[in-house]
Amino acid sequence: MPRRVRSPTVRRVESEPARGWRGEGRGQYSWRGPDGPPLWGGRGDRWDRDPHRGARLFPALFIGAVQVIGTRIAARGQADAAALDPLAYALLVAGPAALLLRRRTPLLAFAVALAATVAYALAGYPSGPYFLAALVALFTAVRRAERPAVLAVVAGGYAAYVGLGRILPSVGGVELDAPSLSRSIVVAVWLVVALALAGANRARSEYFTEMARTRGEAARARAEQSRRQASEERLRIARELHDVLGHHLSLINVRAGVALHLLDSQPEQAREALGAIKTASAEALREVRGVLAALNPQDESAPLSPAPGLSDLDQLVDETRAAGLFASVRRDGPPRHIPAELDRAAYRIVQEALTNVRRHAGPDATATITIGYGRDALTLRVEDTGDGRTASTPDGTDDDGAPHDNLGTGIPGMRERAQALGGALSAGPRVGGGFLVEATLPLTEPIPLPEEGQTPRPEHNPGESP
C-alpha cells in the first residue's frame, strides 16, 4: 500500500501544536492568541467545553421561534396592523438573542429585550407573543441584578412606550403609535404583576439557596462532630491502654524478676510470683478486651465484668504491695455513689500515679492514697516518700526493662483525664521529700452528705446498677 503523503501545512500543524493550535480532534482547531481567546470566530476549546452552552441556546432559540411563529399566526386576523417586514422580524429576534447574555449580564440582556419589545409595540406591528423574551429577561434580572437598577430599566421602558409616540410621530420613516390611556393602564398593571411574580421567584430561589446552605453547614457540622468524637474516643482508648498496660506489665515484670531470682533457692516463693504473674496478665487481658470492645460497635455482647472504679482500689493496692511497694489508702468522708465516668477516671489516675511511684520513687519508697469525698468535688491525693531517683538497672533502663527518660506521658495523661471532666491535676515534689499527685474532679451535681446515723451508699462500680 503506497504511503500517504501529507501536505507541508498539515505537517507543520501536527509538529507545532504548542504555538497556538488547540483542539482534541479533526475540525476542532482554531488559532488562539497568547492569552487564549480565538483571533477570529472559529470553534475553540472554551466554546466546545462550555457546559452551559445548551442551557443558554435552547431558551433563546425556543422563545425566538415562539415569538416569530406566534406573531405570524396572530397577524392573520389583524388587517389594520402594519405588515411584518424585515425590521419587525429583526425586533422579534433581537429579544431572544439578548437572552444569550442573561447569565453573564442580566441587566443588559433585559434592557435590550425590553427595548426591542417597546420598539415593536410602538411601530404598530401585529400583536402576538412578542414580549416573551422581555418577560424571561425580567425574571432573570430581578433574580440576579440589583432591584433599583431593574426598576429603573422598567420605568424607562414604560415611559418610552407611553410618551415616545406622542413626542416623535415617526423615526427613520417608521410611524410610531401612541397608546391610549386604557392600554397604558393595562400595560402598567401587567408590569406590576410581572414584577411581583419575579420578586416572588427571587424570594423562593433565595429561600431554597439558604436552605441548601443550611443543610450543607449542618452536614459539615455533623461530619466535624463525628471526626471530633472519633478523635476523642481514640484518645480515650489510648489513655486506657496506656494505664492498663503500663500498670499490669510493670507488675508482671517485677514478679517475673522475683521468680527468676528465687527459682533455684526458694521455689515456693517463685511459684507464688508466677501465680501473681498469671493473675496480673489475666486482669490485663480482661481490661484490654473491655477497652477494645468500643472499637467493634457491632459486637453487642456485654462485657464479662464492669470497668474498674474506686470500689476496686483495695485490690489495686494489694497488687501494688505484691510488686514490692507498700501502699495504704485513707478515705476522708463517707464513700458514696459518684458518676461512672468520674469513678473510672479517678481509678485510672490513682493507678497511673502508683505505677509512676513504683517505677521512679526508688526501692524503699511508700505510697499513701487519700480519697476525699466532698460535697461538690472528689479529691485524689497520691504521695510517696521516695528520693526522686528512678529505680533502674545497671544498663540504664527502668526496672521494667524500658529505657528511662523524664518525658513520659503518665502525668500529661492524668492531667488530660482530669481536665476532660472539668477538673484539675497538679504533680510535683512535695515538701519534706517525695512526690505528690493531687487531682480535683468536680461533681456535675452536688451530692448531699449522708445524715448522721445514716448508712452511706457504697462506691458505684460501672456496669452495675446503682
Q: Tally the domains of the chain.
A: 2
Question: Tell me, what's the pLDDT at 355?
Answer: 84
Residue 265 domain flag: no
Is 404 inside a domain boundary? Answer: yes
- Report the pLDDT value the prediction gives residue 462, as an integer from 0 to 100: 36
Task: Please report whether residue 286 resides in a domain.
Answer: no
What value does the CA radius of gyration of the chain take, rounded to a whole number of Å?
44
Please report the pLDDT score of residue 391 as a whole number.
41
Strands 30-31 and 21-22: antiparallel
- From residue 150, alpha-carbon distances to 105, 111, 189, 232 in Å are 12, 9, 17, 54
Say if 175 falls within a structural domain.
Answer: yes
Distances in whole angstroms, Cα of residue 98 to Cα of each of 112, 331, 456? 6, 87, 86
- Using the CB atoms, write b or e for 426-454: b if 16+ within 10 Å: ebeeeeeebbbbbbbbebeeebeeeeeee
The pLDDT averaged over each successive group of 10 residues in the chain (466 residues) is 50 47 40 41 45 72 90 83 86 90 89 91 87 91 89 91 82 79 90 91 91 92 87 76 72 76 78 77 73 59 64 85 84 83 88 85 85 89 76 41 49 85 90 89 62 43 36
Query: Which of 179, 199, 214 is a domain's end point?
Result: 179
Angle at 75 between CA 72 and CA 78, to 5 degrees: 180
In the listed set 124, 150, 179, which residue is the last one of a domain according to the structure? 179
Answer whether 323's CB lies under 8 Å from 365's CB.
Answer: no
Which domain range does residue 430 map to?
306-466
C-alpha torsion sign, points 191, 192, 195, 197 = negative
Residue 114's pLDDT is what?
92
4 assigned to some structural domain: no
Domain contains 199: no
191, part of any domain: no
How far apart are the C-alpha atoms of 335 and 435, rounded to whole Å?
A: 26
Q: At 89, list the grid cell.
A: 422580524
Any domain includes 460: yes
**What are residue 427's DSSP bridge partners?**
437
Residue 142 near residue 201, CB atoms below 8 Å: yes
pLDDT for res 386: 82
Measure the CA–CA gap between 328 and 368, rounded to whole angstroms: 5
* Domain end (from 145, 160, 179): 179
CATH of the domain at 409: 3.30.565.10
